[in-house]
Amino acid sequence: MEAEYKRPTWDQYFMRMAYLAASRSNCTRRKVGAVIVRDNQVMATGYNGPPVHSVNCDIVGCIRDELDVPSGERHELCRGLHAEQNAIIEAAVNGVGIKNAKIYVTTHPCVVCSKMLMNAHIDEIIYAEGYPDDLAKLMLLESDIKIRKFTISDDEIASMIGTFYIHKTGED
């Protein structure tokens, strides 16, 4: 007997897209993807990595690793932009408004990204994995942005896009 196809929910659909975006990352520490959506339409996508025409991190190495910088600290010591930042920039470059949109992101936003999402008037953040940044969590609690955790299994991610490094912190 054939297994019955089950259509994915919108959350599953867009979170899968966020993980697919993350698969483009060349970060050696954590691969993160983001999808900005309004009215169930994709407005922009992003993944973490260095600016355009810069050497990729998997080639030049990671300053944060060399200095043993813990996750969630010293964001300025990184060649790359975060997935949320790249999604916001993609929308701006292409003249796409993202006010009142949602963002699906594979990892909870850091404080820098949280502030950007607040100022971009994002309505909701849906994330899959935790990130150790207490100030980000506090600032989002003070904002009017809805935030919720939505996860899909590692097996499902691997079956969709193959296996690649996903750093899990266990933080929520």
Q: What are phi and psi of 124, to 5 degrees?
A: -150, 140
Q: Residue ranges of the alpha helices (H) in the chain?
A: 10-22, 57-60, 63-66, 83-93, 111-119, 134-142, 154-161
- Contact of 71 with 87, CB cutoff 8 Å: no
Q: Which residues are bridge partners to 148 per DSSP? A: 126
- Contact of 86 with 46, CB cutoff 8 Å: yes
Q: Is 4 a catalytic residue?
A: no
Kindly state the tokens that stand for 31.
């691969």
Of 73, 84, 90, 156, the active-site residue reads 84
Return the active site residues: 84
